[in-house]
């Protein structure tokens, strides 16, 4: 199955809806929206450019490096080249109103033999640009969304025929429906009930249990559960950014992960006093350890998420975090992200969040944000103020 012109058109409509939904402030004509894409997604990028122009926006097109270019960059760059930022980059980011990211990799393992410390240094050098966009989003001036365009490499790594892989993308994003945007609006409304139920509770502690996991998390002061915000297409997760300082115990990710051209499998993280004190993996353990040491916040929790299997249309491993963190399957999933927090989980006006206030509330800061997924049968218990405890998630669904 390939993406027809009609499917591309529907995908555009969904992405523009997602970008609008993710925006806290009003949208105006003549705003600047960056479309960052990889070459296999060219047709979708072309269609998005036309749609944005029709809407009176100013699209800025940025094509990503090919696998060969990316590997050459890390292998050949000296220290200065590794952290170089083009003139005008900061100025552009200070004016951006939107970002649409089209992920369509031709390779998932091309950086496996590259020094991960160099990858980390380049990521840290770009963090000030991320900080600019985070602040613009907090003040309602910027929103972003991202999606996946199927490639032969993704299908290969997921061990699926290309037609079956593409069909799963179409199904997961409601592109098989007459009006996908209306379907997303229905899912958005359905999730509201669960978020309201969770946010009415005064949760002091969460206990996450499965066969290989025993983890305690502290949601923290002034937190709220959010989800299906438009930031990801598809997205079925409901999540919050906990106070990293309250993380204790063992987290296990049974789902494999591809990151920065590396493959990691069967991750086990041991937390004490909010930090990873031991990291293990059946494959990619060295890369995992270096990522967790990327900066002071990389070994702390930035997000905890739960996906209700009744929402998700994803029922197989897709070798892509965007899809895998929204996996429904038999038991739903939870995922934990090492690294940066999401300020939209602050139960208040995020425009008032300063770095000092975030630090005081236990919001984590890092150049890393790495989602690690657990698809085991699990139970999540909330311990409430006053001593009551409530099972909020079991057998892959929220126990509302």
CATH H-level, domain 5-179: superfamily: Thermophilic metalloprotease (M29) (3.40.1830.10)
Closest C-alpha to 261, from 127, 120, 374:
120
56 Cβ partners below 8 Å, 6+ apart? 29, 30
Contact 212, 252 (CB under 8 A): yes
- Tally of residues, the chain: 400
pLDDT of residue 129: 96
Contact 385, 339 (CB under 8 A): no
pLDDT of residue 1: 52
Output the six-digit token pair for 138: 């907090």
Element (H, E) at 238: strand 237-240
- What predicted TM-score, i.e. pTM, was given to this entire model? 0.91
Please report how the helices 285-292 and 116-138 are oriented relative to each other, as an axis angle in degrees rounded to 10. Answer: 50
DSSP state, residue 118: H
pLDDT of residue 2: 75
Please report how the helices 116-138 and 67-76 are oriented relative to each other, as an axis angle in degrees rounded to 10. Answer: 110
pLDDT of residue 125: 96
Closest C-alpha to 371, from 273, 174, 199, 231:
231
N-terminal to C-terminal alpha carbon distance within the chain:
38
- HSE-CB at 233 with a 13 A cutoff on CA atoms is 34
Sign of CA dihedral 392, 394, 396, 399: negative
399 Cβ partners below 8 Å, 6+ apart? 390, 391, 392, 393
pLDDT of residue 261: 84
pLDDT of residue 364: 97
3-state per-residue secondary structure call for 84-97: CCCCCHHHHHCCCC
152 Cβ partners below 8 Å, 6+ apart? 106, 162
Weakly modelled stretches of the chain, pLDDT under 50? none
Closest C-alpha to 330, from 374, 396, 236:
396
Range list of H helices, 158-299 = 162-172, 180-200, 285-292
Contact 191, 400 (CB under 8 A): no
Can you tell me which residue has the tokens 């998420």? 305
Q: Where are the domains of the chain?
A: 5-179, 181-398
Closest C-alpha to 263, from 67, 120, 112:
112
pLDDT of residue 26: 87
Contact 227, 239 (CB under 8 A): yes
Closest C-alpha to 288, from 315, 321, 253, 320:
253
pLDDT of residue 268: 98
pLDDT of residue 351: 85
């Amino acid at each position: 199955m390939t993406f027809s012109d009609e499917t591309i058109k529907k995908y555009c409509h969904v992405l523009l809806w997602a970008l609008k939904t993710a925006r806290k402030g009003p949208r105006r004509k003549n705003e600047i929206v960056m479309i960052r894409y990889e070459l296999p997604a060219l047709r979708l990028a072309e269609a998005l450019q036309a749609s944005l122009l029709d809407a009176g926006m100013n699209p800025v097109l940025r094509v990503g490096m090919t696998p060969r270019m990316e590997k050459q960059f890390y292998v050949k760059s000296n220290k200065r080249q590794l952290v170089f930022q083009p003139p005008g980059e900061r100025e552009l980011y200070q004016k951006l109103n939107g970002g649409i990211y089209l992920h369509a990799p031709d390779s998932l393992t091309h950086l496996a033999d590259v020094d991960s410390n160099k990858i980390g240094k380049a990521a840290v050098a770009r963090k000030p640009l991320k900080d600019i966009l985070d602040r613009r989003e907090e003040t309602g001036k910027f929103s972003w969304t991202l999606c996946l365009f199927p490639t032969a490499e993704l299908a290969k790594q997921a061990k699926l025929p290309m037609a079956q892989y593409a069909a799963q993308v179409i199904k997961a994003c409601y592109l098989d429906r007459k009006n996908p945007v209306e379907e997303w609006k229905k899912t958005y409304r359905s999730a509201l009930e669960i978020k309201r139920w969770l946010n009415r509770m005064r949760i002091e502690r969460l206990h996450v249990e499965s066969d290989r996991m025993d983890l305690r998390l502290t949601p923290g002061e002034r937190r709220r559960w959010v989800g299906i915000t438009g930031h990801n297409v598809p997205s079925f997760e409901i999540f919050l950014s906990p106070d990293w300082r309250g993380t204790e115990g063992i987290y296990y990710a049974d789902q494999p992960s591809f990151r920065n051209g590396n493959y990691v499998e069967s991750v086990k993280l041991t937390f004490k006093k909010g930090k990873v004190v031991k990291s293990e993996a059946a494959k990619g353990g060295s890369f995992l350890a270096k990522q967790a040491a990327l900066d002071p916040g990389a070994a702390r929790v930035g997000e905890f998420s739960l996906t209700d299997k009744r929402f998700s249309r994803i029922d197989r491993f897709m070798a892509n975090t965007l899809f895998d963190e929204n996996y429904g399957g038999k038991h739903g999933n939870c995922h934990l992200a090492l690294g940066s927090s999401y300020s939209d989980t602050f139960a208040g006006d995020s425009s008032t969040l300063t770095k000092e206030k975030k630090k005081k509330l236990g919001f984590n800061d890092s150049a890393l944000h790495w989602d690690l997924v657990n698809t085991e049968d699990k139970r999540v218990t909330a311990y409430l103020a006053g001593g009551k405890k409530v099972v909020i998630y079991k057998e892959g669904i929220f126990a509302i």
